[in-house]
C-alpha cells in the first residue's frame, strides 16, 4: 500500500495541536536560541584585552616609560602596579592577581641606545593559552614601535632600525578581529542542532513512553507517514529559529551578510533535515524521554567541540578532523561562515552540501531500519 | 476451518533474548465468540496478542487472523482489527473529539465527522467533546479507548486487560458493552486475570509462563482438568484447613470465607478423606460440581516457572 497523504496530514495536524498545547516546550524552542545567541555573542571573546599586568622596573628612563605607555595604550595590558622582586611577580602570576609581569632589565635604555638588543622579559600566565596568546603576539610590535618613537634626533640616527624586516598582517573577512563575527554564524549551527535533535527525539520517544505509539502502530499508518508527519512541524520551528537568529545577528551584533541568501537557504534546509533525521535516530535508541535528552546532548557536544565552532578545525589532530568531517555541524559552520562573511554563492559550498547530504542518507537509512513497524 | 475461525495460530513462539516468552502456542478463536485469555501477570498474554495481530513478528509458528497471514499481511489485519492496549493509549493532550478524529483519519474513513459524532453520542460524551482526554477518570478513559477501537467497525476486537484498575461498576458496564458487541457478530479476544470475568467468556485459554496449559469452551474446563471438589463447613475451619493440607489425596484447599473447597484429581481418594472426616461429625462435607475458580487455582499451582530456568 502506498504512502497516504491523508494519514501524513493527520499526524502533522495532531503534532501542531500538541505543540500548541505544550507552551513550555514551545517557549523553549524560541527562547533558548535567543538566550544563547546573546550569551555567546556577548560573553565569548577569544581576543581578550585589559589583562592585569605588573611591572618590575630595574631601569627607569624615557625609553622604558615609552615602552610601558605603548603597552598600556594597546589595550591588551592593564598595568596594576609595580613589583620589586622576581618572587613577588611569580606569586602574583600563581595566585592569578596578574596575567603578565613585564621585567625591564637594568641598563635597558643604555643597551637600546647602543643597539645591543636587550632582553625584555614578559612572564605570562599561559595556563589559558588563548587568553595570553593575542597579547603576547602583539607585544614585540608594540615595543619596537614605542622605542623608535621615543628616540629622536641625533640619538635616533645612531640606533640601527630595530627590525631588519617587518611583517604585515592582513586580517581578511573580519578586519577588526571581532569574536562575535565568527561566533554568531557558527552559533546558528549549534543551536539548530541542539533544538532540532532534542525536540524531535523527545517528541517521538514521548509516544513510546506514554504508550500512544503502540496504539498508533496498531492502525494502518505507515512508518514513513509517522516519521514525516512528526518531523515536518519542527522544520518550521527551525525556520523560525533561523529567521530570528539572522535578524538578531544583523541588528544586535552587526554581523555582515555579504554572500548569496539562496546558498544559505539551501544549506540550512539540508542542515535542518539532517538534524531531524538524527533526532529520529536517537528516538529509535532511547527508551525514555530522559534517555532521549541525554543521548541528544551527547550528539551535541561533538558539534560544539569538533566542528570548529569552539576551536580551530585545522588545529585538531588528523583523527579528530576525520571525526569532525562526519559531523553535520562542521559543514554547516563552513557554509554559514563562507556565505555570511566571505560572500560565497551556491557553487562555493557544493562540497559542504554534498557532505551533509551523504551524512543525511546514512542516518535516514539507519533510522528507518531501526524504526520497524512491529514492536520487537 | 479457517473461514469460521477469526484467529487460528499454530506453534507461535517468541523469544526475548534467552527467555522464551511464548512457547509453541496454538489457538483457535471461533468467529463471534467471546474468548477469554487467562493467566497471571507476565505470562505472555500481551506478547501473544501482539503476534496475532501482526504487531510483533513471531520467532516461530504461523497462523491466520481474519483469514490473513499474520506473518505477511499485517497491514490487512490492522485494517480490520481493533486493538485496545493495556495502558491508556490515546493522547492526553488532545481533546476527546481530536483523539477520535485522529483515529478516524488513520483508518481513512469516509464521512469521518458523522462517525465521530455518532461515537461521541454513543459514549454520552457529546457535550464534553472539547475536554482533554487526560482529564477523564479511569472508567471514562477506558470507555473512550474502547470507542476508539470500535470506530472503524472491526470484525475482531483484541482487548488486553481492559479492566485493570477500573472500579467494579465500570467493569460491569464494560462487560455489558462487550456482550452487546459480541451479539452484533464481533469476535472478542479479551485477556484478564480476573476469575469473575473469565466466567463471562464462551471460550477460555489459560496461559502461564509462556505455555498454554488448557483451552476449550468455558463450561468444559473444570471437567477437562478432572477435579473433584468437596465443600466443607463447620467450626474452627482454619485448623482443619491446615490439617487437610497434610492429608494424602487432598491436592488443593481453597478458602472462601467460612467455607473450604477441598479438591483433588483422585476422586476415590478424596471420597475416603471426606468419609473419614464426616464420621467425626464436627464438619459438614458436601460434594459439589467443580467450578472454574478451583480449576484455575489448580492450574496456577501446577504450572512450573520456566522463566526462572537458566537465569
- CB hemisphere CA count around B233 (13 angstroms): 5
Contact criterion met (CB < 8 Å) for B56 and A374: yes
Q: Does A24 touch chain B (CB under 8 A)?
A: no
Bridge partners for A100 per DSSP: A53, A124
The mean predicted confidence, pLDDT, of chain B is: 87
Same domain? A216 vs A122: no
Percent of chain B scoring above 70 in pLDDT: 96
Contact criterion met (CB < 8 Å) for B85 and A6: no
For helices B138-150 and B112-123, angle between their N-to-C axes, nearest 10 degrees: 140
The class level of CATH for B5-222 reads: alpha beta
- Which residues are CB-contacts of A204 (< 8 A; sequence separation ≥ 6)? A230, A279, A280, A283, A292
Predicted pLDDT at A169 = 52
Structural domain boundaries in chain B: 5-222, 228-289
User: Binning pLDDT at 50, 70 and 90, where does residue A153 land?
Assistant: low
- CB hemisphere CA count around B170 (13 angstroms): 15
For the segment A46-66, the average pLDDT, to the nearest whole number, is 81
Q: Does A110 touch chain B (CB under 8 A)?
A: no
Within A96-222, residue ranges assigned H as helices are 108-114, 129-150, 153-158, 179-210, 212-217
Q: Where is the domain boundary, A127, A158, A189?
A: A158
Q: Does B13 touch chain A (CB under 8 A)?
A: no
pLDDT in tens, A297-333: 888 888 888 888 888 888 888 898 999 999 999 999 9
Domains B5-222 and B228-289 fall in the same CATH topology: no
- Least confident span in A140-144, A161-165, A185-189, A317-321: A161-165
Same domain? A132 vs A18: no
Residue A199 or residue B134, greater confidence: B134
- When the candidates are 3.40.50, 1.10.4030, 3.30.70, 3.30.470, the CATH number that belongs to B228-289 is 3.30.70
Confirm whether A375 is domain-assigned.
no
Checking if the pLDDT of A166 tops 80, the result is: no
Same domain? A235 vs A107: no
Predicted pLDDT at B310 = 35
Most confident of A18-32, A71-85, A123-137, B68-82: B68-82
Checking if the pLDDT of A250 tops 70, the result is: yes
Contact criterion met (CB < 8 Å) for B98 and A17: yes
pLDDT in tens, A89-142: 888 888 778 888 888 888 888 887 777 777 778 888 777 666 677 777 777 777
- Least confident span in A145-159, A177-191, B82-96: A145-159
Which chain A residues are Cβ-neighbours of B74 within 8 angstroms?
Answer: 373-374
Confirm whether A163 is domain-assigned.
no
Same domain? A125 vs A262: no
Contact criterion met (CB < 8 Å) for B81 and A373: no
Which chain B residues are Cβ-neighbours of A9 within 8 angstroms?
Answer: 105
Measured distance CA(B178)–CA(A101) in Å, rounded? 88
Measured distance CA(B66)–CA(B62) in Å, rounded? 14
pLDDT in tens, B167-217: 888 888 899 999 999 999 999 999 988 878 888 899 999 988 888 888 999
Confirm whether A21 is domain-assigned.
yes
Mutate to test the interface with A, among B44, B91, B97 (most CBs of A within 10 A): B91
Whether the predicted interface score ipTM is above 0.85: no
B56, B57, B89 ranked by CB distance to A212: nearest: B89
Confirm whether A168 is domain-assigned.
no
Measured distance CA(B299)–CA(A103) in Å, rounded? 93
Asked if A362 contacts A273 with a C-beta cutoff of 8 angstroms, the reply is no
Confirm whether A256 is domain-assigned.
yes
Confirm whether A81 is domain-assigned.
yes
User: Binning pLDDT at 50, 70 and 90, where does residue A175 land?
Assistant: low
Asked if A23 contacts B122 with a C-beta cutoff of 8 angstroms, the reply is no
The mean predicted confidence, pLDDT, of chain A is: 82
Same domain? A208 vs A346: yes
User: Binning pLDDT at 50, 70 and 90, where does residue B270 land?
Assistant: confident
Confirm whether A314 is domain-assigned.
yes
Same domain? A211 vs A343: yes
Which chain A residues are Cβ-neighbours of B110 within 8 angstroms?
Answer: none
Q: Which positions 198-217 of A are in contact with B (Cβ < 8 Å)?
A: 210-212, 214-217
Asked if A328 contacts A302 with a C-beta cutoff of 8 angstroms, the reply is no
Percent of chain B scoring above 90 in pLDDT: 40
Residue A364's domain comprises 5-44+177-370
Q: Where is the domain boundary, A158, A193, A217?
A: A158
For the segment B46-74, the average pLDDT, to the nearest whole number, is 90
For the record, the C-alpha cell of B34 comes out as 467471546
Confirm whether A170 is domain-assigned.
no
Spatial CA neighbour of A312 closest among A194, A137, A169, A183: A183
For the record, the C-alpha cell of A366 comes out as 539507519
Q: How many domains does chain A have?
A: 2
Q: Which residue of B has its CA nearest to A213?
A: B89
Amino acid at each position: 500500500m502506498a504512502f497516504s497523504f491523508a494519514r501524513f496530514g493527520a499526524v502533522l495536524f495532531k503534532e501542531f495541536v500538541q505543540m500548541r498545547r505544550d507552551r513550555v516546550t514551545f517557549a523553549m524552542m524560541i527562547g533558548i536560541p535567543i538566550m544563547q545567541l546573546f550569551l555567546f555573542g556577548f560573553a565569548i571573546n577569544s581576543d581578550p584585552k585589559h589583562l592585569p599586568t605588573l611591572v618590575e622596573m630595574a631601569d627607569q628612563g624615557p625609553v622604558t616609560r615609552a615602552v610601558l605607555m605603548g603597552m598600556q595604550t594597546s589595550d591588551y595590558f592593564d598595568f596594576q602596579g609595580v613589583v620589586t622582586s622576581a618572587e613577588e611577580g611569580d606569586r602574583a602570576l600563581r595566585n592569578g592577581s596578574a596575567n603578565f609581569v613585564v621585567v625591564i632589565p637594568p641598563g635597558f635604555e643604555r643597551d637600546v641606545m647602543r643597539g645591543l638588543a636587550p632582553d625584555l622579559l614578559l612572564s605570562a600566565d599561559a595556563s589559558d593559552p588563548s587568553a595570553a596568546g593575542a597579547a603576547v603576539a602583539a607585544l614585540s610590535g608594540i615595543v619596537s614601535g614605542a622605542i623608535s618613537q621615543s628616540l629622536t634626533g641625533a640619538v635616533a640616527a645612531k640606533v640601527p632600525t630595530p627590525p631588519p624586516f617587518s611583517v604585515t598582517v592582513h586580517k581578511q573577512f573580519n578586519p577588526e578581529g571581532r569574536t562575535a563575527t565568527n561566533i554568531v554564524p557558527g552559533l546558528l549551527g549549534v543551536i539548530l542542532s541542539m533544538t532540532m535533535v532534542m525536540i524531535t527525539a523527545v517528541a517521538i520517544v514521548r509516544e513510546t513512553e506514554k504508550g500512544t505509539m503502540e496504539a498508533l502502530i496498531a492502525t494502518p499508518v505507515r512508518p514513513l507517514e509517522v516519521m514525516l508527519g512528526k518531523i515536518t512541524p519542527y522544520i518550521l520551528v527551525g525556520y523560525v529559529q533561523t529567521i530570528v537568529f539572522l535578524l538578531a545577528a544583523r541588528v544586535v551584533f552587526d554581523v555582515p551578510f555579504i554572500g548569496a541568501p539562496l546558498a544559505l537557504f539551501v544549506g540550512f534546509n539540508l542542515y535542518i533535515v539532517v538534524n531531524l533525521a538524527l533526532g529520529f535516530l536517537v528516538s529509535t535508541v532511547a527508551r525514555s524521554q530522559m534517555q532521549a535528552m541525554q543521548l541528544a546532548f551527547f550528539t551535541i557536544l561533538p558539534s560544539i567541540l569538533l566542528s570548529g565552532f569552539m576551536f580551530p578545525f585545522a588545529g585538531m589532530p588528523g583523527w579528530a578532523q576525520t571525526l569532525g568531517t562526519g559531523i553535520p555541524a562542521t559543514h554547516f559552520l563552513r557554509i554559514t561562515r563562507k556565505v555570511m562573511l566571505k560572500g560565497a554563492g551556491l557553487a562555493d559550498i557544493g562540497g559542504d552540501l554534498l557532505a551533509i547530504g551523504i551524512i543525511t542518507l546514512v542516518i535516514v537509512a539507519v533510522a528507518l531500519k531501526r524504526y520497524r513497524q512491529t514492536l520487537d | 476451518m479457517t473461514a469460521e475461525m477469526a484467529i487460528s495460530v499454530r506453534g507461535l513462539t517468541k523469544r526475548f533474548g534467552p527467555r522464551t516468552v511464548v512457547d509453541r502456542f496454538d489457538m483457535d478463536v471461533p468467529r463471534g465468540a467471546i474468548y477469554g485469555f487467562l493467566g497471571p501477570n507476565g505470562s505472555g498474554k500481551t506478547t501473544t496478542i501482539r503476534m496475532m495481530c501482526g504487531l510483533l513478528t513471531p520467532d516461530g509458528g504461523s497462523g491466520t487472523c481474519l483469514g490473513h497471514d499474520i506473518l505477511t499481511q499485517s497491514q490487512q489485519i490492522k485494517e480490520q482489527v481493533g486493538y485496545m492496549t493495556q495502558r491508556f493509549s490515546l493522547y492526553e493532550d488532545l481533546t476527546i473529539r481530536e483523539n477520535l478524529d485522529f483515529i478516524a483519519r488513520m483508518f481513512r474513513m469516509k464521512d469521518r465527522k458523522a462517525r465521530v459524532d455518532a461515537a461521541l453520542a454513543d459514549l454520552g460524551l457529546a457535550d464534553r467533546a472539547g475536554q482533554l482526554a487526560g482529564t477523564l477518570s479511569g472508567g471514562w478513559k477506558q470507555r473512550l479507548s474502547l470507542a476508539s477501537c470500535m470506530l472503524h467497525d472491526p470484525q475482531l476486537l483484541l482487548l488486553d486487560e481492559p479492566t485493570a484498575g477500573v472500579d467494579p461498576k465500570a467493569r460491569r458496564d464494560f462487560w455489558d458493552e462487550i456482550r452487546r458487541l459480541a451479539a452484533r457478530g464481533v469476535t472478542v479476544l479479551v485477556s484478564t486475570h480476573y476469575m469473575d470475568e473469565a466466567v463471562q467468556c464462551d471460550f477460555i485459554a489459560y496461559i502461564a509462563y509462556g505455555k498454554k496449559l488448557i483451552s476449550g469452551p468455558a463450561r468444559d474446563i473444570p471437567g477437562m482438568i478432572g477435579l473433584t471438589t468437596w465443600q466443607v463447613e463447620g467450626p474452627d475451619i482454619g485448623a482443619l484447613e491446615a490439617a487437610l493440607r497434610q492429608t494424602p489425596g487432598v491436592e488443593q484447599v481453597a478458602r472462601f470465607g467460612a467455607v473450604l473447597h477441598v479438591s483433588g484429581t483422585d476422586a476415590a481418594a478424596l471420597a475416603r478423606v471426606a468419609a473419614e472426616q464426616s464420621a467425626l461429625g464436627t464438619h459438614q462435607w458436601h460434594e459439589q460440581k467443580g467450578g472454574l475458580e478451583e480449576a484455575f487455582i489448580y492450574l496456577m499451582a501446577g504450572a512450573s516457572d520456566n522463566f526462572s530456568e537458566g537465569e
